Amino acid sequence: MEYRLLGRTGVRVSPLCLGAMMFGPWGNDDRADATRIIHRALDAGINFIDTADVYSGGASEEIVGQAMGSRRDDVFLATKFFMPMNEDDPNQRGGSRRWIIREVENSLRRLNTDYIDLYQVHRPSPDTDVEETLGALTDLVRQGKVRYLGSSSYSGSQIVESQWASRERRLERFVTEQPPYSILARGIEEDVLPTVQRHGMGTLTYSPLGGGWLSGRWRKDAASAPTSSARPSARFDMTRPENQRKLDVVEELAQLAEQAGLSLIELAIAFVINHPGVTSAIVGPRTMEQLESYLPAADVALSSDVLDRIDELVAPGVTINPDVNSYGANELTALARRRARP
């Protein structure tokens, strides 16, 4: 497997990052099976694992920590904080110094390690100064508990603000950004990817299969297509024209993949990691079969003809259903649109 530089850190990581969100009660609660999947990924050359404290209430971190064992130093380990860990306590969440200093110790314990390679803010916060968050994270780096810092789902302007704050306040900076990216959701090409490239950051993208749309599981006029009753969110509401359009595009992409001698999954993941601004794509298997279907994409180089056809189906910078965007979530609030006053 060809390894890539993670921004300007000097660290080299695999183009596929093993996402651990599905390990635990949220997905595969068989810890022995999850461990086998992790070991298979490491044996295949993946040296990058991403998890978060909130995944299955900490169970994902525990599974990853147990599975790494003696191979800990061979893994570039990333986790995240920010999401609520206790719905009854408003302070067990967010980007405050108070919570960061407490929660990093919880993650270290669950991960069975004394250091985290990449500690990421899971979401931006409109209520917390970025200097507050970066100041606490800088202390963790200087204490040796964390090696590098990253952001997740930041907009272009939020990335710039954080880089400026680090420079002005002489704080550690975010060296990575983790945004959503797939053929069906290309919004980050417009601003986020150019911004991270200008700042020399690494990019690890999530949802390369578009939340399952590009897995081949759902096809137009198929009994397995998502329905409003089965998946009530706007992402899967088939009464919406955006989602009907997605089914049409998936049909075209399936044909394109077949012509290129690839599976739809391989085409989708290869598209993401072929972008020069992307370091690694997070793939989150629940089963061994799913992992095996992802691995070949690491060695796929898409031709110009294939990429041009993809651009015809979904133009660069376009997200077919804007409801799938989770980055810059605070940028278009009602207040920002002049539809409400504080």
Which residues are marked as active site? 55
For 139, residues 6+ apart whose C-beta sits below 8 A from its C-beta are 101
Neighbours of 252 (CB within 10 A): 14
Kindly state the greatest CA–CA separation across the chain: 57
DSSP for residue 275:
S
Distance CA 82, CA 330 (A): 15
- 8 A C-beta contact, residue 40 and residue 49: no
- The first and second tokens of residue 101, run together, are 């200093």
- The 10 Å CB-count burial string (b at 16+, else e) for 3-20 is ebebbebebebbbbbbbb
Query: CA 314, CA 92: separation in Å to the nearest integer?
Result: 40
- Does residue 148 contact residue 119 with C-beta atoms inside 8 Å? yes
Per the structure block, which two tokens stand in for 122? 């899971």
Residue type present at position 61: E
Q: Is 204 helix (H, G, I), strand (E, B) or coil?
A: strand
Are 57 and 89 in contact, with CB atoms under 8 Å apart?
Answer: no
Q: Which two tokens stand for residue 40?
A: 């298979």
The residue type found at 131 is E
Give the whole-angstrom CA distance, residue 185 versus residue 324. Answer: 7
Q: Helices in the chain by DSSP H: which ranges?
A: 31-43, 59-68, 97-111, 130-142, 156-169, 192-198, 241-259, 264-273, 288-294, 304-313
